[in-house]
Amino acid sequence: MGETDEKDSLTLVLDELIELAALKVGLDNIRHDHERTTAEQVKISQIPAPSFSEDLRGQYFLDRFYELGLTDIHRDAVGNVLGLRSGIGTAAARRDRLTLVVSAHLDTVFPAATDVSVHVRDERLYGPGIADDGRGLAVLPALIRAMDTAALQTIADVWFVATVGEEGTGDLRGVKHLFANPEFVIDGFLSIEPGPPSDITYLATGSHRLRVTYTGPGGHSFGNFGTPSAIHALGRAIARIAEVSVPTSPKTTFTVGVIEGGTSVNTIAAQASMLVDLRSNSDLHLAHLEDEITHLLHSAAGEENDRWNSHAVTVGIEQIGRRPSGSQLSDSPIVRAAVVTARAVGYAPHLNDAQSTDANVAISLGIPAVTLGGGGEAGGVHTLGEFFDTRDAYTGVQRLFMMIILLAGLRKLNDPILSKRIPEQSVQ
């Protein structure tokens, strides 16, 4: 059977399913639930949740999962909040049962002091984090309500998870912890982010992040002239980094995002530091880039010392982030499911370029995973002017509802497109 035939067959399966009374009940519930979902999105977004400080928002989800009737509800060692909607699998041990994770991330990029109030103008919601990932988080309860209203019995266990540490230096610590647990064998992973139902992220951009610190003796700018400067060494390093050549395919990038150091205009700096972001769609190219940058960082310290016939300036390099890259075929079952469900709610599917999301870890391990939009239109993401347009946003929830049905399967109706895997790798 060719690729086109396979896609057509999956469309036929979905077409038959959505004509069933139970499925219609679930889809209608999502549409009628639109205002309730939007109200919860506002409520969630107004709970501060900077990376590493997600406890308050996590507690909200603990309470909500209990209210929604999930089981095995708990917060794990790193702060992820999990709740189970059990399937009808027959395996005695949970690790041997077919398992789908549906997730959204708790954390935002905004510091604790940020005013996260949400304001409504026309049909737009304005507030830091209202879209990323306020929308994804609000969709989790909406999906659970729809499945319960339709009385759906999935074959696979479906875990709903609110993860920590997706943003910035959180370094995907929430999902890394999930996949490092040998007793929690995940067969498919669905991550929800802001975006329309057309978008499909199935490729993962990897990143390495470095904190680089130059240290020297310092001194007075006039009285101690001739002493090597930590800032000058940093400047030499930045100039060298700026000249690095990287391939366009696989896309590979670098930037110095933050610089700090010095005490006054007339002081030879005793310390200077920077944060460096390296990214690539290939782990191999990313490793080569980090090796090259590391060599340049040491060379910059040597150049500053040689300039003043000294050995006083040293450099320290700390890796503060490591996100894996990965790929999967565009005609893999989970991507085909994302394509047909997008069409089912009236959108032309769009396969995104590689991105960095919670799905990175699963994709890097060869586990079927996609990141999909929760519906609506978002803008100004990661800025104080972030907004979310609520019009027709429920279509994103309907699309995700159908994704769960295809991935997890329904008792006596359709087999899951996921299959049980034998774990071969773990996250380091």
Q: Cα–Cα distance between 300 and 232 in angstroms, integer?
A: 9
**Stretch 16-22: mean pLDDT:** 93
Give the length of the chain: 428
Q: Cα–Cα distance between 58 and 79 in angstroms, integer?
A: 7
Enclosing H/E stretch for 254 = strand 252-261
Token pair 């009940």 is found at 25
What region does 39 belong to: left with phi over 0, alpha with psi -120 to 50, or beta? alpha
**Stretch 216-228: mean pLDDT:** 97
> At residue 398, what are phi and psi to the nearest 5 degrees?
-60, -40
The mean predicted confidence, pLDDT, of the chain is: 94
Q: Cα–Cα distance between 317 and 315 in angstroms, integer?
A: 7
Q: Cα–Cα distance between 109 and 95 in angstroms, integer?
A: 34
Residue 426: the pLDDT is 47
DSSP notation for 22-65: HHHHHHHHHHHTHHHHHHHHHHHHTS--BTT--HHHHHHHHHHH
Strand runs labelled E in 281-406: 314-323, 350-351, 369-373, 377-379, 387-389
Q: Are strands 124-126 and 387-389 parallel, antiparallel or unpaired?
A: antiparallel
Residue 203 Cα to chain centre, angstroms: 12
Query: Which of 425 and 372 is assigned the larger pLDDT?
Result: 372
Query: Could you tell me where the DSSP H helices lie in 214-282?
Result: 230-242
Q: Cα–Cα distance between 421 and 360 in angstroms, integer?
A: 18
Residue 424: the pLDDT is 61
Res 5 pLDDT > 50:
no
Residue 421: the pLDDT is 85
- 371 near 192, Cβ under 8 Å? yes
**Stretch 3-32: mean pLDDT:** 86
Residue 4: the pLDDT is 45
pLDDT 10s digits, 29-86: 999 999 999 999 999 999 999 999 999 999 999 999 999 999 999 999 999 999 999 9
Q: Cα–Cα distance between 103 and 403 in angstroms, integer?
A: 13
pLDDT 10s digits, 409-418: 998 899 999 9
- 419 near 332, Cβ under 8 Å? no
Q: Cα–Cα distance between 174 and 44 in angstroms, integer?
A: 19
Burial of residue 86 (number of CB atoms within 10 Å: 0-12, 13-18, 19+)? middle
pLDDT 10s digits, 245-276: 999 999 999 999 999 999 999 999 999 999 99
pLDDT-derived band at 91 (thresholds 50, 70, 90) equals: low
pLDDT-derived band at 327 (thresholds 50, 70, 90) equals: very high
Instruction: Residue 130: count other Cβ atoms within 10 Å of its Cβ.
Output: 28
Contacts of 370 (CB under 8 A, 6+ apart): 189, 190, 191, 200, 201, 202, 334, 335, 338, 359
Res 183 pLDDT > 90:
no
Residue 3: the pLDDT is 44
pLDDT 10s digits, 125-168: 999 999 999 999 999 999 999 999 999 999 999 999 999 999 98
Enclosing H/E stretch for 104 = strand 99-105
Distance between the two ends of the chain, CA-based, in angstroms? 38
Res 2 pLDDT > 50:
no
> At residue 169, what are phi and psi to the nearest 5 degrees?
-75, 5
Residue 82: the pLDDT is 98
Residue 280: the pLDDT is 97
Tokens of 28: 């209608």
Res 116 pLDDT > 90:
yes
pLDDT 10s digits, 331-349: 999 999 999 999 999 999 9
Q: Cα–Cα distance between 236 and 154 in angstroms, integer?
A: 59
Contacts of 282 (CB under 8 A, 6+ apart): 206, 250, 252, 325
Res 428 pLDDT > 70:
no
DSSP state for residue 412 in the 8-state scheme:
T
Contacts of 302 (CB under 8 A, 6+ apart): none
Query: What domains lie within the chain, and their CATH numbers?
Result: 3-204+325-408 (3.40.630.10), 206-323 (3.30.70.360)
Res 285 pLDDT > 70:
yes
Tokens of 318: 């700390």
Closest Cα to residue 285, out of 317, 255, 253? 253
Report the SS3 class of residue 7: helix
